[in-house]
Structure 1
Amino acid sequence: MMRNALRAGTRPEPWKRGPVLTALALLLGLVLLLHATITDHAGLGSLVENVLPWLGVFIPVLLAVACLRRSLSAVTALLLPAVVWTTLFGGLLRDKSHPGGDLTVATHNVGAANPDPTATAHALAASDAGLLALEELTPGATPLYDKTLAPLYPYHVVLGTVGLWSKLPLGAAHPIDIMNYGPLAATKPAAAKLPENRALRTTVTTPDGPLAVYVAHLGSVRLLPRTGFWTASRDIGAAALTKAVTADPSPRVLLLADLNGTWDDRAFNGLRAHLDSTQRTSGTGFGFTWPAAFPLARIDQILYRGVEANRSWTLPGTGSDHLPVAATLTW
C-alpha cells in the first residue's frame, strides 16, 4: 500500500502529463492553420496541401492516446486541430446539392492503359451528360471512343490527348499551350516534356447563350527521392490555364480537367480566384477520384463561373485509374 501511495505521489498532475502529445497536437493544428505559409522547397508545401484533409485522421488517434495517458493538456490542445479541420473541411460533409439543372457535364481521365475503351465509352454515355470531356486519349483508343459516342454526341473535337463530345453545337476549337509557360518552363526537365497538346478551348452553343469550355490535363507530379515532390510541369499548366481563364471575355466559363493536384494546392490559387469548384459548392463528401481502386485525392475537377452548380458527384469506375466526375449546371 505504501508503494502504491508513493507511485501515486510521484505521478504528474493531469495537466502536466503527455507533453509530447500536447506538442504534437499543437503542431498538427498549426500545420492545418498555416499550411499556406509552409515552404515549397522540394515541393513540401504543395505535398502537404494535397494530403491536407487526411491530416484529420491524426486527431482521433492522438485523442485516444491522450485519454489513455489521462493528459488534460493534450486533450485541450487537440481543440486547435479539431476546430481548424472542421472549419476547412466540415462543409464538405453535408449535402449541398439541390434539384434542377439545365445541363449535365462530365469529365474523365480515361487512362492511356485502359484495356477496354469501348466499355468505358458506353459507361460514360449512360451518364446522359450533355457535355463529355475526355483526357489522356491515345491515337489507338480515340476512334473507339468516337465510334461509340457518335450516336449520342453528334459534335466533338479532339486536339492531342484531350477531347470534348457534345450534344450541342460546338464552335471553333483551339489548343491552349500548357507545356511552355513563362519562367516556369525553364524549371522543367527535358525528360518531362509533354508529347502532345493537353488542353483546348471551344464554345458550346446553348439555348441560353454561348458557354466557353476548357478541357485540360495538367502535367503529372512525382515524389522523387532526390528532388522531393516535383510539380514543375503541373505548375506550368496551372499558370497557363489561369492566364487563359482570366483573359477569357466570356461571362460563362467551364473547365473540365484532370489537374493532377487537389483544389487546396497552392498551384491553383489563381484559378480559385476566378472559378468555383462544383464539388465544393454542390457536392457531398470529398468526392475523391484517384486512384480509382482506393480514392485518396480529388484531382479531377469541374470548375465554373457565370452559371450555378446544382449537383456534383462521382461516377462508377471504368477501366481507368481515375473515377469520372459529373455535375449539373443552371444558367
Structure 2
Amino acid sequence: MDPDRKAGPGAPAARGCRPRRHWGWRRGRVLAGLAAVAAWLLVFPRAVPDAPGRPGSLLETFLPWLGLAVPLLLVPALVRRSLTALVALALPIAGWLGRFGGALPPPGAAPYDLTVVQHNVSDENPDPAGTARALMAAGPQLVALEELTPAALPAYRAQFAARYPHHAVHGTVGLWSAYPLRDVRPLDIAPAGFGADWQRALRATAVTPHGEVAVLVAHLPSVRLGAAAGFGSGPRDESAALLGGAIAAEEREALILLGDLNATVDDRGLAPVASRLRPPPPSFALSWPAAFPLARIDQVMTRSADVTRLWTLPATGSDHLPVGAHIRL
C-alpha cells in the first residue's frame, strides 16, 4: 500500500495513534460524588456523629484543610476530561468559601481598646527570657501564659516586671497586666481523676481605663490521637464543660478568655465554652504546631466585647505560636 495514501473512513487507526478523548458528561461520576461529599462535610460537619473515637471532633479540628479536596479531585477530573466532575467541584469551593472565605481579605484597621497576647510557652522552652521579650514586642496590656514551670517563672517575672507590675500565677498558668488586678482566684476545671496538683485556670478582674473586665486564663487537657482510641478528647471535653460553667457563673458582664484550649472554635467539644462567648473574626492565624501550624487551639474569646483582629506572633522556644488580639470593650 502506498504509505502516502490516506486511509478511508472505515479503515482502522494507525498503530500507536489514539483518538483524542473529548470532554464528556458520563465520565467522572465517582469524582463528582467525592466532591459532593466534601461539600456536605464542609457545610454540615456536625452531621458526623461523635461516636467512639470522636470522628466528628477530629473532622472539625482540621476542617479548613478539607478544602484540599478541590485540587486533589481537580487533577483526575482534568485527566479524565469530565465535565460532570468539574461542575461538581463548584460545590466544595462554595462550601469552603461560605465557611472560611471571610478570612481571605486582609484585615482592615478597626478600633480597639486593648491588645492581648496568649501563649503556651512550653514546659521545655529553653529561653523563657527571650520568649518574654518576644511577647512584649507586640505591645500588649495583658499577657496570658500556660505551661509555666517553677524553674522558668523567675525569668518571666524579671522580664515582665517593669511593664507589667500586676500579675497572678496559679499552678501552671499566669496573667501579667499593665492594669491593676483584683478578685484573683483559681478556677477548678480539673476532670475527674486528675490530682490536686493539676491547677490550670485562674480568674481576675482587670481594672482598665475602659472599665473593669473579668479575665480568665485556662489550659484544657490535651487530646490524644491514636489508632485504638481515635481522637481521645474525653478529659478535654469534661474540662471544657467545667470552664463553661465558670463562664456562666461569672457575674461581671465584660469577659475575656485567654488560653490553650486544645480545641478549635469549630470543635463541638468546645461548645460549652464557645456557645457562651463571641468567637474571634475569621482568621488563618493557626498556632499549633509551631513548625507547621495546622490548627488554632490557642484562643482569645470574649463576652460583651469584640475581638477586632487576631494574628500570630513569630515563633519562640515553644511548640505553639503566640496569638495576639485587639479587643474593643
Same-fold call, TM cutoff 0.5: yes
1:60 corresponds in structure 2 to 71
2:215 paired with 1:213: yes
Task: For residues 48-79 of structure 1, give each alpha carbon's deviation from its aligned partner in whole angstroms, at most 9, with x where no partner exists.
Answer: 11111001011122122202211111112212
State the AA in 2 paired with 1:314.
Answer: T
Shift of 1:147: 1.3
State how 1:236-255 maps to structure 2 within 5 Å: 236-255=238-257
Q: Structure 1: 5+ residue runs without aligned partners?
A: none
1:107, 1:228 → 2: CA distance?
Answer: 29
Shift of 1:44: 0.6
State how 1:113-262 maps to structure 2 within 5 Å: 113-180=124-191, 185=192, 195-262=197-264
Q: Is the 8 A contact 1:17 1:73 kept in 2?
A: yes
1:89, 1:57 → 2: CA distance?
Answer: 13
2:279, 2:324 → 1: CA distance?
Answer: 12
Does the C-alpha gap of structure 1 residues 113 and 205 become closer, same or farther in structure 2, counting only changes over 3 Å? same
2:75, 2:207 → 1: CA distance?
Answer: 56
Shift of 1:8: 6.0
2:141, 2:23 → 1: CA distance?
Answer: 65
1:34 corresponds in structure 2 to 44
Task: For residues 20-59 of structure 1, give each alpha carbon's deviation from its aligned partner in whole angstroms, at most 9, with x where no partner exists.
Answer: 2122112212222221010112111100111110010111
2:4 corresponds in structure 1 to none
2:161, 2:288 → 1: CA distance?
Answer: 28
Q: 3-state DSSP class of the match of 1:46?
A: helix
Does the C-alpha gap of structure 1 residues 36 and 164 become closer, same or farther in structure 2, counting only changes over 3 Å? same
Q: 3-state DSSP class of the match of 2:54?
A: helix
Task: For residues 206-239 of structure 1, give each alpha carbon's deviation from its aligned partner in whole angstroms, at most 9, with x where no partner exists.
Answer: 1222100000111000012211110011111211
Shift of 1:313: 1.4
Q: Is the 8 A contact 1:97 1:310 kept in 2?
A: no
Q: Is the 8 A contact 2:307 2:328 kept in 1?
A: yes
Range with bigger deviation, 239-248 or 305-314: 305-314
Range with bigger deviation, 22-31 or 225-234: 22-31
Q: 3-state DSSP class of the match of 2:242?
A: helix
State the AA in 1 paired with 2:199.
Answer: N
2:27 corresponds in structure 1 to 17
Q: 3-state DSSP class of the match of 1:326?
A: strand
Shift of 1:194: 8.2
Does the C-alpha gap of structure 1 residues 199 and 29 become closer, same or farther in structure 2, counting only changes over 3 Å? same
2:289 corresponds in structure 1 to 291
Q: Is the 8 A contact 2:114 2:326 kept in 1?
A: yes
2:297, 2:309 → 1: CA distance?
Answer: 18
Of residues 93, 96, 100 in structure 2, which corresponds to 1:82?
A: 93
1:324 corresponds in structure 2 to 322
Shift of 1:164: 0.1
2:22, 2:259 → 1: CA distance?
Answer: 55
Shift of 1:103: 1.3
Q: Is the 8 A contact 2:23 2:81 kept in 1?
A: no
Q: 3-state DSSP class of the match of 1:32?
A: helix
Of residues 78, 101, 106 in structure 1, which corresponds to 2:117?
A: 106
Shift of 1:19: 2.4
Q: Is the 8 A contact 2:115 2:327 kept in 1?
A: yes
Shift of 1:243: 1.2
2:108, 2:247 → 1: CA distance?
Answer: 26
1:314, 1:219 → 2: CA distance?
Answer: 22
1:24, 1:132 → 2: CA distance?
Answer: 45
State the AA in 2 paired with 1:299.
Answer: I
2:129, 2:151 → 1: CA distance?
Answer: 12
Shift of 1:124: 1.2
Shift of 1:308: 2.8
State the AA in 1 paired with 2:325.
Answer: A
Percent of aligned positions with the same letter in both sequences?
Answer: 47
Task: For residues 169-199 of structure 1, give each alpha carbon's deviation from its aligned partner in whole angstroms, at most 9, with x where no partner exists.
Answer: 001211111113xxxx4xxxx6x76842111
Q: Is the 8 A contact 1:279 1:313 kept in 2?
A: no
Q: Is the 8 A contact 1:279 1:287 kept in 2?
A: no
Q: Whose helix proportion is higher, 1 or 2? A: 1
* Number of residue pairs matched by the alignment: 317
Over the residues paired in the alignment, what is the CA RMSD in angstroms?
2.2
2:231, 2:196 → 1: CA distance?
Answer: 18
Task: For residues 133-183 of structure 1, give each alpha carbon's deviation from its aligned partner in whole angstroms, at most 9, with x where no partner exists.
Answer: 001111111111111111111000000010000010001211111113xxx
